[in-house]
């Protein structure tokens, strides 16, 4: 209106008022300029959206007519809620076709409709459950032999050539053949389907010109028709092996769930789902690993690192960079109002590089602790059914390459090109070269007989450990030592964020310690350890037996105590050795120019670590309380008045944390953040626990949970693949919705309000108060 006309006339205003989003807000220049078919996004989708993650994590793109979601938490939240955010548009053409192209499709009887990935509830879950068995690791085992044979045959063809484009020599072909086998396509039909399948990506996620649209429509139409013919052939003999015949066999029992439309649509979409994803994923992974030569050499030397490397490559450079949902009601994402009917592009590639979730995200680290938390397979009830098959293929291909061609390198100076589209990403060619004279099998043919294991379930809670050496041990205060650890070969360590800890394994111990050095110093890590006379011996070992040069195993860093960068002010409270994460946080706050104050409680100067450093670096922000001098922190006085935008970060003895909890009851929920450094979740003591039943409302199954098992373990044993990460009640990955029954919550993830609502639980640790629980899965 008049007001916006007035504003537009003011020169230099950074906002283009000529464009408004559907809620009437102006579109920012960055949002207006966003082009998902442009070179910047194709080359580096996460980098091209960094501005968005930092400044405008949910924005409207007039170019696309979609709302774009770029932060990890928001992308995951959209995936998680497939009712508010329906997947029905997942396979819709992102660029509408011309009438002429549509006429071509019609002439072929094209009627692609709902499969699984774009189906709403309740139909989706019924269908998914009916069809999921062939995807379980057990059922996939026999495909492994096929994959190995195919991979070996393909490498045989070019291993003596010294140079190859891996995409055209095998990375396209092998996953396609595996996909066709998995679906059950007869050998004689493979060649034809192979020819047509390529057009589908452009059809769905690309921006073909009007002339290209007609050609694409022609291929897609033929693909559709031929899929129908193959399906008819399968119907004549449904005893054939494969996932499509499996569905055909089930159809008479559940005709409303496994419809003709479903079968025909899946026959076509299934090829794309299984083929291009895996082909592009493997291409991206090989390129990444060859570009990060040290890590390539590490997996060549130790193939047991391959499953973790696959997961990190899927995070760093997944084949599906963005997926789609549509809002079914007015709602919000990350505080941004989203109207009913809004189409969403949720960018997994950006989420997977979100520094709010992954430390130093643009660095490849095959030992990254939370790599398996990537969103490349989606998340929640639609999470990729084929992920075990994809992982198996990728692992087998990497095993073969690292064994037979460890000396291969990328051909230098090659340009990587991508098919312009919003969602599928991987270079069209990957040229590598090597000296065939040096092929290891020429001198040692026995390497070909090496038996290697495929690991199908994600790396789960335990990241791959690295070996560290003790560089220095210094006295920090009475009974406190500071230990400096470094990579034995001097290799750089991952950067970490304040609040991170590592798991150290030494002697028979495994202990967690917060990192307290400089997060940007990649040459070493520092921890501080207080000798705990009453403890279980871990700290005593480090104090009395550890010497410089000793070797320890270390996992992590991982961070369950992240500093929220959006806070206006921090209040840091540390008790005793609890200063270790706090000092890293305070250093960070100082560097970033945040407002903060530190309250540090201890017995006496001699017993308090890092006092000199704190006084030097944080001078007037620091208040020290020494109980030996009768000076104690009065938490009630400190926190008497809640302050909007202030967050309290605390680490220390349980007494202090409980007092803080008490003193912040009138603060906004979640204002107090505590380091749950040692979780209370220990081993289950069957003498203290009782057994109960878990009813699964959506699958109609009842699972018994014995006294010595977690709900998570029991669900897994019954074939339900609940994701998990820390398995200590810390990370929130294993959350499931609860329909009925009182939960005995033991995690530290849910807020008080969430516990009171009782509609979700963490399956790794929480249990039933009574005899039964009903879960909404």
**Residues near ligand HEM (CB under 6 A):** 79, 87, 116-117, 128, 182, 270, 273-274, 277-278, 281, 318-320, 323, 376-380, 382-386, 389-390
DSSP 168: I
Least gap, CB of 573 to ligand HEM (angstroms): 40
Q: How far is CA 155 from the centre of its chain?
A: 31
8 Å CB contact between 686 and 707: yes
Residue 737 token pair: 């919705």
- DSSP class of 426: -
Closer to ligand HEM at the Cβ: 179 or 504?
179
How far is 119 from 479, CA to CA, in rounded Å?
Answer: 61
Min dist. Cβ of residue 385 to ligand HEM (A): 4
The Cα 433–Cα 238 span in angstroms is 45
CB of 86 to ligand HEM, least distance (A): 11
Break the chain down into helix, strand, coil percent, rounded to 5. 40, 20, 40
For residue 422, the minimal CB distance to ligand HEM (Å) is 13
Q: Is 275 or 560 the residue whose CB approaches ligand HEM more closely?
A: 275
User: Cα separation of 654 and 656, whole Å?
Assistant: 5
Nearer to ligand HEM, 278 or 514 (CB): 278
If the CB atoms of residues 8 and 383 are measured against ligand HEM, the closer one turns out to be 383
Q: Is the peptide bond before 122 cis (omega within 30 degrees of 0)?
A: yes
With respect to ligand HEM, which residue has the nearer C-beta, 425 or 673? 425
Comparing CB distances to ligand HEM, the nearer of 128 and 760 is 128
Q: Which is nearer to ligand HEM, 278 or 526 (CB)?
A: 278
Nearer to ligand HEM, 208 or 242 (CB): 242
**In sequence order, what DSSP letters do the residues of 501-529 get, joined into one string?**
EEEEEETTEEEEEE--S-TT-TT-EEEEE
Shortest separation between residue 585's beta carbon and ligand HEM, angstroms: 34
- Residue 167: CB atoms within 10 A of its CB come to 20
Cβ-Cβ contacts under 8 Å for 335 (sequence gap 6 or more): none
Rg, Å, the chain Cα set: 28
Between the CA of residue 725 and those of 561, 682, 750, what are the distances in Å? 16, 16, 16
Q: Is 221 helix (H, G, I), strand (E, B) or coil?
A: helix
- Pair of tokens at residue 94: 């992102």
Our CB check for ligand HEM shows the closer of 380 and 460 to be 380
Nearest approach, Cβ of residue 547 and ligand HEM (Å):
46
Least distance to ligand HEM from the beta carbon of 775, Å?
A: 18
Residue 347 · residue 321 · CB < 8 Å: yes
| Torsion, CA 348, CA 353, CA 356, CA 360, rounded to 10 | 160
What's phi and psi for 513, nearest 5 deg? Answer: -135, 135
Minimum distance, C-beta of residue 45 to ligand HEM, in the bound complex (Å): 14
DSSP secondary structure, 194-215, as one string: HHHHTHHHHHHHB---HHHHHH
Q: How far is the CB of 247 from ligand HEM (least distance, A)?
A: 11
CB 344, CB 78: distance < 8 Å: yes
Of 313 and 768, which CB lies nearer to ligand HEM in the complex structure?
A: 313
Closer by beta carbon to ligand HEM, 342 or else 586: 342
Nearest to 33 by CA among 16, 47, 46, 17: 16
CB-wise, 391 or 746, nearer to ligand HEM?
391
Q: How far is the CB of 342 from ligand HEM (least distance, A)?
A: 17
CB of 284 to ligand HEM, least distance (A): 9
C-alpha to C-alpha distance for 332 and 342, rounded to whole angstroms:
11
Cα distance between residue 482 and residue 502, in whole Å: 14
539 CB-near residues (< 8 Å, 6+ apart): 511, 529, 530, 531, 532
Q: CA-CA distance, 184 to 109, in Å (whole number)?
A: 23
Q: Which is nearer to ligand HEM, 283 or 526 (CB)?
A: 283
Least Å distance, CB 484 to ligand HEM, is 40
In terms of CB distance, is 117 or 397 closer to ligand HEM?
117
Query: What is the SS3 assignment for 3?
Result: helix
Q: How far is the CB of 156 from ligand HEM (least distance, A)?
A: 24
DSSP readout, 348-373? HHHHTT-TTTSSSTTS--TT-TTGGG
Q: How near is the Cβ of 746 to ligand HEM at its closest, in Å?
A: 28
Q: Smallest distance, Å, CB 657 to ligand HEM?
A: 37
Nearer to ligand HEM, 319 or 459 (CB): 319
Residue nearest ligand HEM, CB atom distance: 386
Nearer to ligand HEM, 127 or 495 (CB): 127
From the CB of 694, what's the least distance to ligand HEM, in Å?
A: 22
Residues 6+ positions from 326 with CB-CB distance below 8 Å: 85, 86, 88, 89, 341, 342, 343, 344
d(CA 738, CA 742) in angstroms, rounded, equals 9
CB of 388 to ligand HEM, least distance (A): 9
State which residue, 368 or 588, has the beta carbon closest to ligand HEM.
368
Q: Are 598 and 618 in contact (CB under 8 A)?
A: yes
Name every residue whose Cβ is closer than 8 Å to that of residue 499 and which is 6 or more positions away in sequence: 514, 559, 560, 561, 562, 563, 581, 584, 585, 649, 675
């Amino acid at each position: 209106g008049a007001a916006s006309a007035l504003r537009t006339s003011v020169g230099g205003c950074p906002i283009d008022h000529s464009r408004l989003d559907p809620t009437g807000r102006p579109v920012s220049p960055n949002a207006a300029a966003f082009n998902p078919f442009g070179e910047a996004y194709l080359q580096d989708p996460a980098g091209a959206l960094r501005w968005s993650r930092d400044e405008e994590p949910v924005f409207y793109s007039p170019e696309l007519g979609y709302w774009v979601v770029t932060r990890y938490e928001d992308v995951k939240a959209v995936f998680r809620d497939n009712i508010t955010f329906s997947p029905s548009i997942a396979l819709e053409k992102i660029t509408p076709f011309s009438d002429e192209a549509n006429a071509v499709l019609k002439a072929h009887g094209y009627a692609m409709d709902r499969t699984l990935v774009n189906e709403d509830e309740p139909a989706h879950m019924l269908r998914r459950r009916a069809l999921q068995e062939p995807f379980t690791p057990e059922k996939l085992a026999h495909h492994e032999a096929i994959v190995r044979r195919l991979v070996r045959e393909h490498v045989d063809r070019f291993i003596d050539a010294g140079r190859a484009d891996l995409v055209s020599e095998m990375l396209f072909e092998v996953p396609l053949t595996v996909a066709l086998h998995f679906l059950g396509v007869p050998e004689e039909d493979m060649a034809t389907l192979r020819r047509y399948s390529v057009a589908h990506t452009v059809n769905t996620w690309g921006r073909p010109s009007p002339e290209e649209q007609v050609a694409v429509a022609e291929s897609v139409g033929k693909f559709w028709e031929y899929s129908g013919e193959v399906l008819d052939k399968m119907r004549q003999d449904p005893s054939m092996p494969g996932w499509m015949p499996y569905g055909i066999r089930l159809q008479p029992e559940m005709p409303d769930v496994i419809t003709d439309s479903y079968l025909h649509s899946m026959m076509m979409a299934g090829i794309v789902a299984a083929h291009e994803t895996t082909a592009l994923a493997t291409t991206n992974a090989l390129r990444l690993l060859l570009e990060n030569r040290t890590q390539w050499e590490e997996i060549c030397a130790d193939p047991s690192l391959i499953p973790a490397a696959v997961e990190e490559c899927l995070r760093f450079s997944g084949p599906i960079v963005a997926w789609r949902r549509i809002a079914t009601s007015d709602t919000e994402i990350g505080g941004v109002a989203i109207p009913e009917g809004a189409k969403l592009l949720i960018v997994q590639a950006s989420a997977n590089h979100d520094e709010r979730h992954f430390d130093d995200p643009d660095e490849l680290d095959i030992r990254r602790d939370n790599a398996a938390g990537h969103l490349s397979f989606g998340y929640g009830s639609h999470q990729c059914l084929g992920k075990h098959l994809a992982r198996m293929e990728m692992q087998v291909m990497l095993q073969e390459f690292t064994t037979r061609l460890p000396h291969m390198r990328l051909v230098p100076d090659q340009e990587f090109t991508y098919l312009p589209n919003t969602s599928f990403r991987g270079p069209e060619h990957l040229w590598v070269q090597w000296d065939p004279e040096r092929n290891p099998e020429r001198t040692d043919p026995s390497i070909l007989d090496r038996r290697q294991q495929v690991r199908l379930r994600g790396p789960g809670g335990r990241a791959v450990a690295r070996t560290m050496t003790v560089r220095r041990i210094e006295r920090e205060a009475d009974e406190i030592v500071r230990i400096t650890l470094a990579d034995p070969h001097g290799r750089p360590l991952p950067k970490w964020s304040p609040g991170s800890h590592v798991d150290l394994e030494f002697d028979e111990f495994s202990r967690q310690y917060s990192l307290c050095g400089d997060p940007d110093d990649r040459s070493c890590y520092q921890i501080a350890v207080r000798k705990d006379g009453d403890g279980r011996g871990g700290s005593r070992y480090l104090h009395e037996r550890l010497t410089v040069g000793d070797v320890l195993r270390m996992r992590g860093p991982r961070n369950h105590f992240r500093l929220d960068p959006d806070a206006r002010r921090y209040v840091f409270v540390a008790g005793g050795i609890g200063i270790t994460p706090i000092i890293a946080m305070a250093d960070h706050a100082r560097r970033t120019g945040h407002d903060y104050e530190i309250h540090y409680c201890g017995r006496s100067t001699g017993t308090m670590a890092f006092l000199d450093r704190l006084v030097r670096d944080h001078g007037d922000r620091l208040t020290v309380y020494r109980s030996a001098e009768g000076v104690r922190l009065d938490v009630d006085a400190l926190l008497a008045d809640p302050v909007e935008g202030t967050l309290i970060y605390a680490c220390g003895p349980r007494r202090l944390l409980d007092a803080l909890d008490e003193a912040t009851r009138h603060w906004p929920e979640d204002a107090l953040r505590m380091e749950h450094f040692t979780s209370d979740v220990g081993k289950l003591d069957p003498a203290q626990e009782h057994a109960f039943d878990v009813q699964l409302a959506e699958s109609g199954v009842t699972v018994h949970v014995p006294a010595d098992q977690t709900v998570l373990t029991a669900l897994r044993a019954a074939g339900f693949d609940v994701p998990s990460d820390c398995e200590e009640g810390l990370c929130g990955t294993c959350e499931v919705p609860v329909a009925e029954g009182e939960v005995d919550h033991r995690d530290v993830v849910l807020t008080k309000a969430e516990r009171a609502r009782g509609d979700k639980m963490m399956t790794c640790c929480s249990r039933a108060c009574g005899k039964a629980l009903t879960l909404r899965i």
